[in-house]
Chains A and B, each alone.
Chain A
Amino acid sequence: MEAFGLLLYGFGVLLTWKTLALMMVGLVLGIFVGVLPGLGGPNGVAILLPLTFTMDPTSAIVMLSCIYWGALFGGAITSILFNIPGEAWSVATTFDGYPMAQQGRAAEALTAAFTSSFIGSLVAVLLITFLAPGIASFALRFGPPEFFAVYFLTFCSFIGLGREEKHKIVVSMALGLLLAGVGMDTVSGQLRMTFGSSDLLRGINFLVAVIGLFGISEIMLTMEERLALRGHAAKISLRVVLKVWKEMPRYWVTLLRSSVIGCWLGITPGGAIAASFMSYNLAKRFSKDKESFGKGRIEGVFAPETAAHASGTSALLPMLALGIPGSGTAAILLGGLMVWGLNPGPLLFVEHKEFVWGLIASMYLGNVVGLVLVLTTVPLFAAVLRVPFAAIAPMIVVSCAIGAFAIQNAMFDIWLMLVFGVAGYVFKKIGIPLAPFTLALVLGNRAEDSFRLSMIGAEGDMRVFWSNGLVGTIASLALVLLLWPLIAGGIKRIRLVFARGT
């Protein structure tokens, strides 16, 4: 198997003291970020990104992805001990995790959560290891029309499958694509939408927007709520860990099902939240004892955590293979790639082998080390929550400002961050989703370039998107997804008519 050799090569890249140290730093920072209120995976990664600007890309991505794994682990701590989901995809974990903590079984619940997260991401990493190189080498044959079709598919799937009001998804996405176009036009070199401002000439930086949208707005949202919290302290002993691990094989069906759901939904954009709920509900439906769910059943912790981690990890697959992020955090990592001077897309596997395989190897190692780390240090991290928010909030603001400034050394970006912070706060409260905006902002230029290049190649003939089997299939699939709500409604109506007829 070729993948094995390459993976070994990746471990070779990884196993230096410097990289391993960065990995530990990343994991610890990540768990902190996951535990702290008002921060989470995407914000943490975005704020800490400037730390990596002067590193080589491999060390940088290893540290950043470890922050991400750490944040995923950390989210489970607050869900179980405090009934506060750090992230939307941790909500399902609170259903059974918190009752378990109330019954004095916090250690058990935490062990279950950490172990199942580990299993979920392991399955996803295996998937990446064996699938991503194949997809990437297939995508090497893509020309501009194929790439535009894939971008179009991504955008359409957000609109068609999103749970928010459709016009708000469109607003969010169109705004992101528009702002991506501000500045110098890459094809003709003309200036667009700059209104004579020299600051807008550089364009609106994706990471600045993300820091504002997720970091600053999250602090405002957190302040708005009651900050009092009451939770359980927990210590995990080896005895409990072994007990849970011994019980675990009995739930292999749940673990497997949740991993599959997670991987599948993770590859399609915006899936982690849906994955955790769906696998929780399915575990409940297939259980013989439905009543016990929500009252502290260990299976209710296994299911959502496995799925959330599987989808969080597999979201990196399309990012690595195609240059299309499957989640908000993946989008930020993609932004990082561009800062480090790498060109995301299928060529990454050919041109930057050490980067790709170093990252994949770090997913294996990072999850193992992360599991051991959280199991041993939970009491320490739970105590972080005792630190008053009034001390944490200004520090987060400062970190956000440092992050925003460092990207382009521009004071203007700090102001831009503030504007995006307010916009993010308002958007979240009126139900305009931020994920489509983020995705559109990071992909906007590349989507436009591929569209214009295909138009130039085909002399303005739109039929180029149906000119061969491959591009035609992708483009048609995109339209089906875009119109999916209408199609699904139509099918339902036809069924009703038939049901009445018989």
Chain B
Amino acid sequence: MSKPEAEIVVEDPAAPADDSPAVATRRTVDIVVSILLLALAALLAFDNWRTGMSWDSTGPQAGYFPFYLSVILAGACLYGIGKEFLARRQARETFVTRDQLRRVMQVFAPTLLFCLFTQWLGLYVASLLLIVGFMTFIGRIAAWKALLTAFLFSLVMFVTFEIAFDVIMPKGPLEALFGH
């Protein structure tokens, strides 16, 4: 095997460790999700029963189709739960390890904050904050690079959507200052 002349290498020092302890098994999550979906199915079935799930002179009522779908959904969930309980207990796959969960939260929490900020400050300011914050605190990238990237990206987005394509985004006090 000849050594190729050029390589592209990207390191990931904060990668999740392989031996990190499991937070939840796949089986547990599977059962929890099935129960949640079962509850949803029950709720929707009730609502559709209230709307009317039978036949009248013009054919099926509005709740007919979704009511039976809720029943099918509930049935499939019950089957899944039963299957998981009857399955052999040894086979336990990890759903997520502690390190992995930490990393997922690192992206989920900022996204949640971003959505909140969008509501208050408008999308473009929120996007500036998200990119600066994410790059400096999670990516450990120099602050000036983060600021520059975030500013350019938000500006390009603003020009593309707001000016070139006429797609209007939620805006906050800052844009109001500039008369947008």
* Residues of A bordering B, CB below 8 Å: 50-51, 53-54, 81-82, 101-104, 106, 165, 167-168, 170-171, 174-175, 177-178, 181, 185, 187-188, 190-193, 195, 216, 219-220, 223-233, 382-383, 385-386, 388-391, 393-395, 397-399, 401-402, 405-406, 409, 411, 414-415, 418, 421-422, 425-427, 429-430, 432, 448, 451-452, 455-456, 459-460
Contacts and interface: CB of A to CB of B under 8 A. Distances in A.
B62 interface: yes
A429 B62 contact: no
Given A51-B165, A385-B10, A192 B118 contact: no
B85 interface: no
B80 A101 contact: no
A105 to B, nearest CB: 9
23 contacts: A50-B165, A103-B2, A106-B4, A174-B72, A177-B66, A187-B59, A187-B62, A190-B62, A192-B62, A229-B8, A229-B9, A230-B8, A231-B8, A233-B7, A383-B8, A385-B10, A391-B131, A391-B141, A393-B134, A397-B130, A405-B123, A411-B118, A427-B33
B128 to A, nearest CB: 9
B8 A50 contact: no
A471 to B, nearest CB: 18
A456 to B, nearest CB: 4
A83 B157 CA distance: 32
Considering the complex of A and B, which 10 residue pairs feature the smallest CB-CB distances, nearest first?
A390-B139, A233-B6, A228-B12, A456-B59, A174-B73, A227-B12, A226-B15, A185-B62, A190-B62, A394-B134
A451 B146 CA distance: 54
Interface in B113-149: 114-115, 118-119, 123, 127, 130-131, 133-135, 138-141, 146, 149
A227 B161 CA distance: 31
A398 B15 contact: no
Given A226-B12, A401-B115, A406-B169, A455 B7 contact: no
Given A168-B76, A394-B114, A397-B107, 5 more contacts: A223-B106, A231-B8, A383-B8, A401-B114, A405-B169
A181 B8 contact: no
B7 A231 contact: yes
B127 A398 contact: yes
Contacts of B110: 394, 397
B141 A390 contact: yes
Contacts of A171: 34, 37, 73, 76-77, 80
